[in-house]
Amino acid sequence: MKLVITEKPSVAMSIAGVIGAGQKQDGYYQGNNYLVSWCVGHLVEPANADAYDERYKKWAYNDLPIIPEKWRYEVTRDKQKQFKVLKELMNRPDVDALICATDAGREGELIFRLVYHKAGCQKPFERLWISSMEDSAIKDGFDSLKPGAEYDNLYASALCRSQADWLVGINATRLFSVLYGASLSVGRVQSPTLAMLTERDAQIRDFKKEKYYHVHINPAGADATGEKIKVKTKAEAIQAVCDQQQAVLLSLTTEEKTVNPPKLYDLTTLQRDANRIYGYTAQQTLDLAQALYEKKLLTYPRTDSRFLTSDMLQTIPVIVNQAALLVGFIRGNVGIPIDYIGQVINDSKVSDHHAIIPTLTISDYDASTLPETERSILQLVATRLVCAIHEKHVFEAVTAVFECGGHSFTAKGKTITTEGWKAVDRLFRNSLKQEIEKEDVEKTLPELTEGQTFDGVDAAITEHTTTPPKSYTEDTLLSAMERAGSEDTDVDAERQGLGTPATRAGVIEKLVHRGFVERRKKQLISTEKGINLIRALPENLTSPKLTAEWENALTEIAKGGYAAPEFMAGIKVLTRTLVRENTAAREDLKPLFEHKKQAVGVCPRCGESVFEGKKNFYCSNRDCSFSMWKNDRFFTDKKKTLTPELAARLLKDGKVPVKGLHSAKTGKKYDAVVVLADTGDKYVNFKLEFSKNTGG
């Protein structure tokens, strides 16, 4: 009997169906001499600091650095039941071998190995390595299982990454939180990402707008523009010299230019486009792509490759045609040039997984039954595949240089000679219901000849204003994270930039959740809390260089060219140095972290500020008895919570419509207006008002 262990229940179900283990049991499938179970993501994780010593429950500078001599691992609290299932299955007498079928990558390897070791299992295991959940891919994978030992170096690399992040994250977070008396979360990827956001926001805040001017002339209707001029009077002088004068065409150059088809999607570029076009967050896109993967409609999404492998040459034409049918706007409008498929093949640029493409399953699937969000992602991936196998977009760029009144003016135009892949892109853009960024309108110049003269040209001035850098969106931040530290990263490193394709979305969500960053429509803006944190941290924690150095080393560990103990020794030195060099808070930064209570509203009795406490919302005036208690029966009986938002609206408006109030008599829900009916007595009263608008 062989035990197959996957990362997620949905993957276990798919694999079980293919290998004939169709009998559903409690926490696993069974059949055909197989057991198939799952980990539910990270079942086993590094233990918290207080697992090593009780005193670590309190954060103190003198206890730092915390560096375990022997690492401890714990089963995640809410996943105890599934771990128990796996442990029992691993130790069943009739199970003689295991198959690791977690996601084929560094983190997937870590998930399986930690469970394997925590369960005390010593049975031999093999490795399943696939990039698609299609039945054929699973069958092929089981026909070519590899000995688990071949992935020992990958596991060593993953373990080093996990332990190094723990050491730096735990110690740096405690260190700066203790020094500044505030909760300051620090992370190897999180902190440099936040630093990029705060730097961009500072550039925008400090930007000073400046006006500048262009003088234009219009020979034969062409718009020829002069140089950028900062002083208006100088522009006016040039206009006066050129207006109604003769212009001469000094030079006319034509250059053929090409725009290559876009590469296929990896996770980051898919997240970027989904954010730019649909406004999806990086996490939403990852979740949607994962759902499509589990429905067998997309290949593995957590990839950093943008190419396919040569063994896929036979199936790609079929998938391309199915993709074209899926996005109906393509068929009948543009051909499918199969001859160009070779440009998406590059074995040397595929690491764990190839690029994200649709699977053959889409031919038998009614995409109209998918949620709109999933359908959008599937359409995006299908369109990209069809674009990628098209020919180049070719155009002639024409540059005309004129002389008038002793000044030079330039006009530019272009003529498309081969639309190529942009024909597909244009159809896709036209199919979208919402507006997205449009490309520059194609401009053509009139027929011109060098030496040609133009009498009585008009001259005009246009006024412009310099613009600040744009705030980061998830699209542009993901791009910046991907490129960060690249100058310090070896080109052969498995991962470059900040984080991995699979973790970048989580980093952004963490920054937002912890209040360091806020979303304003598509923009990501650093908060005062985030700005202050970056000010307090040393440069080596806010620079992407640290991550670049780690990824270089981790790649070498995975290849067997660098020893894991040597890497971890360096991390321990880094951690000790960090604590030793930061013994006290900077005096100029201390005031930034002083706790400032935010008022919820104004007291209706005395006009002083009302603040939130643990159990109530109270007036800051000690002589005033106004208080709204969170456990007031008025709200608890109706199964509603007196939240800060609700309290603020009651204090501001005196009343607020509330939906879904519970009736103790009928057990049903209803809508009403909650009124702050304060009579000045010891206890504040509330009452209900009903109207047509509240459904009463």
Encoded tokens for 524: 């990501």
The beta-strand segments (E) located in 384-542 are: 393-404, 407-418, 453-457, 459-465, 517-520, 523-526
**Which is the catalytic residue, given 300, 472, 562, 618?**
300
- Edge-first strand order for the sheet with 211-217 is 453-457, 245-259, 393-404, 407-418, 224-225, 211-217, 459-465
Q: In this structure, what DSSP letter does residue 214 have?
A: E
Token look-up 């150059």 returns: 253
Quick one: which of 574, 449, 579, 611 has its CA closest to 165?
574
Quick one: which of 353, 366, 371, 233 has its CA closest to 299?
353
Quick one: which of 471, 469, 391 has its CA closest to 425?
391
CB 536 within 8 A of CB 183: no
**How far is residue 617's CA from residue 540's CA, in Å, rounded to a whole number?**
42
Residue 475: how many CA atoms within 13 Å on its side-chain side?
14
**How far is residue 583's CA from residue 592's CA, in Å, rounded to a whole number?**
18
> Taking the chain, what is the end-to-end CA distance rounded to the nearest angstrom?
63
Is the backbone peptide bond immediately before 469 cis, with ω within 30 degrees of 0? no
Question: Given the DSSP bridges, would you call strands 601-602 and 609-612 parallel, antiparallel or unpaired?
Answer: antiparallel
Q: Let me know if 300 is a catalytic residue.
A: yes
DSSP 297-310: SB--SS-----B-G
The beta-strand segments (E) located in 555-624 are: 601-602, 609-612, 616-619
Per DSSP, the three-state class of 462 is: strand
Which residues lie below 8 Å from residue 541, measured CB to CB, with a gap of 6+? Answer: 168, 172, 186, 188, 191, 192, 578
Question: Given the DSSP bridges, would you call strands 459-465 and 211-217 parallel, antiparallel or unpaired?
Answer: antiparallel
**How far is residue 261's CA from residue 477's CA, in Å, rounded to a whole number?**
23
**How far is residue 306's CA from residue 350's CA, in Å, rounded to a whole number?**
8
**How far is residue 19's CA from residue 6's CA, in Å, rounded to a whole number?**
14
- Edge-first strand order for the sheet with 28-31 is 23-25, 28-31, 34-38, 2-6, 97-101, 125-127, 146-147
- Enzyme catalytic residues: 300
